[in-house]
Amino acid sequence: MITVTKIIQFLAIVLSALALVPAGAHLAALPNKIGLPQTAYFTVQGIYYGWAILGLLWPGALAMNVLLAICVRSQGGPFWAALLAALCFVLMLVIFVLWTLPANQATQNWTTVPANWQLLRRQWEYSHAVNTVLVFAALCLATLSALLWRPPGL
């Protein structure tokens, strides 16, 4: 059982870290993009074409952190850290569905300019910023869970 738990810990940390990469890229670009005029902003948004596949990291990381919580449920600290990491990913998905996805849909993935494009830009940029904080917290919590966990009998 120790080997399985270690593998799940590893996968939870790695998937959480990989999920941080695109989220961090969005956050790093925010200060340079948020004030761009409409034409420039829509042009820059084109760099994200194909990034939707990276969104699969979120449910993958969620699943691994849930699995981690199940594996370490007999130990309070590791369990709660893993469960909170999983909840961070749940909250990220909720934020995506409520704010990011509607902005993508209203702009047809930033190829159509609706009248309220500036509101949608703020909605899109800041939802990604919040999700970056959440995925960083999830990564820290998954790592903390692994660090706190002790093999049974030790």
In a domain, 144, yes or no: yes
Q: What is the pLDDT of residues 42-62, one digit of tens each?
A: 999 999 998 989 989 999 999
In a domain, 154, yes or no: no
Q: Tokens 């917290």: give the residue.
A: 137
Examine the pLDDT at 152 and tell me if it is beyond 90.
no
pTM of the model: 0.93
Can you give the length of the chain in residues? 154
Q: Kindly report, residue by residue over 114-146, the tens digit of the pLDDT.
A: 999 999 999 999 999 999 999 999 999 999 999
User: Which domain covers residue 47, as residue numbers?
Assistant: 2-148
Report whether 94 contacts 127 (CB < 8 A).
no
What pLDDT score does 18 carry?
97
pLDDT over 60 at 5, yes or no: yes
State mean pLDDT over 101-114.
97
Tally of structural domains, the chain? 1
153 belongs to a structural domain:
no
